[in-house]
Amino acid sequence: MYAVLMVDLKGSRLYEPERRNALQQYLVELTEALNRIFAPAMARELEFNGGDEIQGLFSEPSGALLCLRLLQRAVFPVPIHGGIGVGEWTVRTPERDTFYQDGPVYHRAREAIELAKKERDYMALLCTGGDGDRVLNAMLNAACRLTEQNSSHQNDLALLLELCFPVTLPDRTMNLRNLFDLALLLPRRQEICEGSGKPGKLSPEAFLAAADFGSHSLPARRTEEKTQNRYSGAHPYGAASTVVLFTGLKRQAVDTALRASNAYAERALALALRDELSEAWKEPDRD
């Protein structure tokens, strides 16, 4: 079983040409960064086409989920539609990219994103063909909506939290050192995605320092097991204090902003959905 992620920018053709060109270039660089981070979970890399659609093929559904989650925050507040399809990859074209592949997994992803475009209450949909899709989609969209409601500053702090304590694949096979590639892009997010041209409150060095912390500390810390709340695993121990190290802000201000952004609640939903997908579609012979 494979998973296809499809993402489409809402109303991108209405942007001024200069802003649309800058956004497209940013998305090309963003997909390249995400490809390096999620390479162990990919069967075909994410590709960005001229129609403002991003598409990629993953060897496990949780990889597609976590990639969508990072992508949404990295293009915030640009609205997106997303679709994840789970199923068989039956039509394989060797040496060609994801747009040349086919099979039920692609059909379900296309069905999911087209339905998401029609549903006002759903930013993204997941289609597995199973009876549990309604519950999975309720969890997915609750997480997406929490992110949508953030301010720019809240989203930046949530991104910083994610760089420090990344939510990983169940087997932890992600290229965390490539978090640097993502961190290098994030300072441009406000100028390109918001179109304001105003610098964000966090310095470029803050994102790089957080990526350095996250890429080196996670294997030793086993972040999701060492938590303040053993039931959700979503609030890493010392999260606010760690983020403060890279921001120059007061701890109370950081803690208040992270809680107001619902960053911990969003992480709890992501972890629960990741584990549900992983358990439901793990290979029978895998430990």
Residue 232: inside a domain, yes or no? Answer: yes
Residue 63: inside a domain, yes or no? Answer: yes
Phi (first) and psi of residue 66, to 5 degrees: -65, -30
Domain count, the chain: 1
- Give the structural domain span for 79: 2-280
Give the C-alpha separation, 103 to 279, whole Å: 23
Average pLDDT over residues 186-209: 86
Residue 179: inside a domain, yes or no? Answer: yes
Residue 286: inside a domain, yes or no? Answer: no
Give the C-alpha separation, 35 to 127, whole Å: 23
List of residues 6+ apart from 115 with CB closer than 8 A = 83, 122, 125, 127
Contact present, 72 and 80 (Cβ < 8 Å): yes
Residue 287: inside a domain, yes or no? Answer: no
Give the C-alpha separation, 169 to 46, whole Å: 17
pLDDT for residue 232 = 57
* Confidence (pTM): 0.91
Residue 107: inside a domain, yes or no? Answer: yes
Residue 285: inside a domain, yes or no? Answer: no
Q: Domain holding 230: CATH number?
A: 3.30.70.270
Average pLDDT over residues 22-28: 92
Residue 73: inside a domain, yes or no? Answer: yes
The size of the chain, in residues, is 287
Contact present, 26 and 193 (Cβ < 8 Å): yes
pLDDT for residue 231 = 54
pLDDT for residue 286 = 35
Taking only the tens place, the pLDDT of each residue in 105-153 is 999 999 999 999 998 889 999 999 888 999 999 999 999 999 999 999 9
Give the C-alpha separation, 277 to 139, whole Å: 12
C-alpha pair distances (Å), 37 with each of 32, 208, 222: 9, 15, 18
List of residues 6+ apart from 244 with CB closer than 8 A = 250, 251, 254
In terms of Cβ atoms closer than 10 Å to its own Cβ (0-12, 13-18, 19+), residue 17 is exposed
Phi (first) and psi of residue 91, to 5 degrees: -105, 105
pLDDT reading at 91 higher than 70: no
- State what percent of residues in the chain have pLDDT above 90: 62
Contact present, 156 and 191 (Cβ < 8 Å): no
